[in-house]
Structures are given as structure tokens and as C-alpha cells.
Amino acid sequence: MAELKRTELSVHQERAVLVGVILPDSTADPRDPLGELGSLAKTAGARVVGQILQKRQSPDAGTYIGSGKASDIALLAMKEKANVVLFDNDLSPSQIGSLEKIINEVAGSKRGEEGIKVLDRSELILDIFASRAHTHEAKLQVELAQMQYTYPRLMKMWGHLERIAGQGGGMGIGTRGPGETQLESDRRLVRDRISALRRDIEKIQERKSRIVAARTLEHFTVCIVGYTNAGKSTLFNTLTAAGTYADDKLFATLDTKTRSWKLERGTEVMLSDTVGFVRDLPHNLVASFKATLEEAVHADLLLHVLDVGHPHAEQQFKSVHEVLDDIGVKDKPEILLLNKTDTPEGEENYPFWRNMHPDAIPISARTGKGLEHLLVEVLRAVRGTQVDVTLEADVANGKLLSFLESHTRIHDRQFDDNRVTLKAIMGKRTLADLQKNDQVEVKKVESLV
């Protein structure tokens, strides 16, 4: 059969058939194996028109699902006028090529037509990330992940590429010789682009690491993590009134936002919102988004937001910790927030999670319910890093006094001639900075815990 065109991976406004192969070690939710894939497809802009599930002990080497089942997919796609088949599994380049060939032969696609595309789970997630990336940093990270994913697949995914250059004379200087295939040329271009992207992202990561490390030295830092669409950005907005984009879609937030969160007078922390996690997140994305997830790596405290009303909450809880382990965040202090307890589903599931995690805090990020309890717990964590300090300074040192008013919680002031004695609660890091200042004399330091 003649090769079909496959010019793009986007699934925007396309009719999709979902396919899942359930293996013995599958991480899909047994109650709704294709539920998350359907949500991903919807987020990408596709319309789901059919689905096929198959249980196997191991993947078929040639097509992952078997040629017979591939024919069934083709018939369903043809019946529903679908133009994309989305797998909930990661496929090899040869499996994608074989599946597209079988499906389009059965469906009767003709030469020159776009045909029915086959996309695996990683391709779909990459497409969503590409549509959500807005900052220069996020766009570079998505492009790198796409390039890394595309490079080994060039042979099978772009089989229509033909030989160019060098087979005859007259092509100009630099084109004569044994020749170079279009495929080889594309591979070289992709390799060069990957190298350039890595250099650019490495610079961003170095700068971001310095910024985050400096912020961590000056402030107690709190990072919101959780499964995509769990309510992280809604919580961030409620706590900081930052106006971060929040929507009922997967991966609504890709770019980390950091804002000041005032817990009480003289006590504030830096609060960060991060990209949502998902099960089986492509490793290329985890690696590429290391700079974006730098906030979680350096944070003093994690707020893990869990949608307890979601039917797959247990799987989502596990997936978040798997990603945290992947990026090197393990055994960091964490407060589990049982979100959406104000919904019927959340109210029904709450007793289970309360028994499993007695220290978890039930909240509603949307209405603010339970956030006063969260505030108390975060303050307790912050006070573990705070001290009660008695210090003396010159009353004429307005800059120093202004700093103390804004960065500490002063609870006593005594004036004597041109000197002022202050008793204040401050972070240990702030104290360390003050002790380097010759214009302030630290008299006494007491721990709060």
C-alpha cells in the first residue's frame, strides 16, 4: 500500500477512538481504564467517538495489540468517521508504523490522503503541553521533549521521506558526493536542535536554581503539588489572590507561579504553584521540566492537593509520589489536603481518606473551607524554623528598623536615649543575616519549639 501523509501530531477538533491494552502490571484504574485517556483527549480538543479495550499477558511485538484487533480498530474508526486512534500505552516507532499501515489498509485510505493517525499516550500529553506552554521557558522545555520523542521515530513516522541531493551534478557547492537522505538530514537537524535546546534550558535551569536557592535562604518556601486538575491553582488563587489561570482541564497550569502568602503580621512565606502530575508521565517531560519543578525540589514544605471526590484518587495519590521520587523529592515535609470535600463525591470518600491519613486536612479550595486549619499547620511548620530574638539598634537607623517591621513580628519595644530594644519573632535565616550586620546587637535568642 502507498504511504500516507502524516504531517502533524495535533488532535485538535478530531474524532478519536481510544484504545487501551491492559497488561498484568498496568497502572490504569480498573474501574475505568480509559477514563483518564478520555480526559486527556478532551483536553487536547478531540471528540471521543469510540473505545476498545484488550487484556493481554504481554504486548504484541509487531502491533502491541495484535493484527486482528488492529483490524477491529480500523472498522470502528471507519464506522465512526474517526481520524485519530489514541493508545493509552507507549508504542515503539515500528508498532506505530505497523498499526497505521493495517488500520489505513482496512479503512481503505488512499494515496495522498491524511489517513488515520495513531498516537500513543506520550504523544498526546506532549501535544497538550505544547498547547498550554506560554512562557519562553515552558516552550523550550516542551520543544525539547517533543524533539527527544520524535528523533527515534523519524524512520517509522515519516516513511514518505525520499532521497535528496547529491545523486547527480548541478546541485551546487556542498551538495555533491555520495548524497544524504532526507531522513538523515532530518535526523541531523533534530540532533542539532536538541543540542541547542539543551544549552538554552541548562542556562535557564542554572539561573532558576540560583533564584530559588536565594529565595529559600531568605524565606520559608511552600510548594503546592498534586495531580493535574486536583485544584492546585484554585487553592493558590484563594491563598494569594494571584489570579492564576485555573480551569476544569488537565494541565491548565504549566508555568510555575510564586507569590507571597501572609500567614500573620510579620510572618509570610513564598508559595508556589506547579504543573500538575499525571500517571506514566513521559520521562522526557519529567527531565525537561526539571527547572519548572525546581520549586518542589527546594521547598521547605509541600502542600499535596488531592481531589478526594475523584474516582481514581488512590491512583492519583500514588502517581504524585512517583513523580516526586523521579525528580529527587523524597521524605520532604508534606501536608495532605483533601480537596473538594464540599462535593457529594468528596463527602462520601472523605471518611476513607481520614482513616488512611489522620493528619490530612479536609478543604475546599473553591470556597475556602478548612483553610484556617491549613494556616495553623503551616504556621506550626514555619515556627519550627523561627526564634524569639531580643536585639538592640540605633533609633536613627531607619532602614534597619523598616526591615525589622516588615520581615519580623515585633511584640515589644523599649526606647532608651538613642537606642531601641526590640523583641521579635523571626526566621533563623533572617537572624543569620542580621548577625552579619554590625549595626544591630543580638542580646538573646530563644527557640519557639
- 64 DSSP β-pair partners: 60
Of 322, 324, 342, nearest to 332 by C-alpha is: 324
Determine contact, residues 402/395, Cβ cutoff 8 Å: no
Q: How far apart are CA 155 and CA 210, in angstroms?
A: 40
Residue 254 among known ligand-binding residues? yes
- Annotated ligand binding at 423? The verdict is no
Residue 446 parent element (H or E): strand 440-447
Residue 170, marked binder: no
366 known member of a binding site: yes
**Is 50 known as a binding-site position?**
no
**Residue 172 is assigned to a ligand binding site:** no
CB 144 within 8 A of CB 288: yes
Residue partners of 8: CB distance under 8 A and separation at least 6: none
* Cα(278)–Cα(122) distance, integer angstroms: 11
- Sheet strands (E) in 174-289: 180-181, 221-226, 257-264, 267-273
Residue 288 assigned as binding residue: no
From residue 301, give the alpha-carbon distance in Å to each of 208, 298, 353, 413, 437.
Answer: 19, 9, 21, 32, 29
Residue 81, annotated ligand binder? Answer: no
Is 200 annotated to bind ligand?
no
Question: Which residues fall within 8 angstroms of residue 106, CB to CB, at 6 or more apart?
Answer: 70, 71, 74, 75, 78
Question: Any known ligand binding at 272?
Answer: no
Does 181 appear as a known binding residue?
A: no
The verdict on whether residue 355 carries a ligand-binding annotation is: no
Has 27 been labeled as part of a binding site? no
**216 annotated as a binding-site residue:** no
Establish whether 255 is an annotated binding residue: yes
- The answer to whether 119 and 11 are in contact (CB under 8 A) is yes
Rounded Cα gap, residues 204 and 289, in angstroms: 11
Q: Dig out the grid coordinates for 121 from the structure.
A: 499516550
C-alpha cell recorded at residue 407: 520581615
Determine if residue 40 is labeled as part of a ligand binding site. no
Residue 284 known to bind ligand: no
Residue 107, annotated as binding a ligand: no
359 labeled part of a ligand binding site: no
Q: Is residue 150 a known part of a binding site?
A: no
Tell me the chain's radius of gyration from C-alpha atoms. 28
* First CA to last CA distance, the chain: 75
**195 annotated as ligand-binding:** no
| 228 is known to lie in a ligand binding site | yes
Angle at 343 between CA 340 and CA 346, to 5 degrees: 60
340 among annotated binding-site residues? yes
- Asked if residue 306 belongs to a known ligand binding site, the reply is no
Residue list for the binding site? 226-233, 251-255, 273-276, 339-342, 364-366
Detail the residues annotated as belonging to a binding site for GTP: 226-233, 251-255, 273-276, 339-342, 364-366
Binding region for Mg(2+) = 233, 253
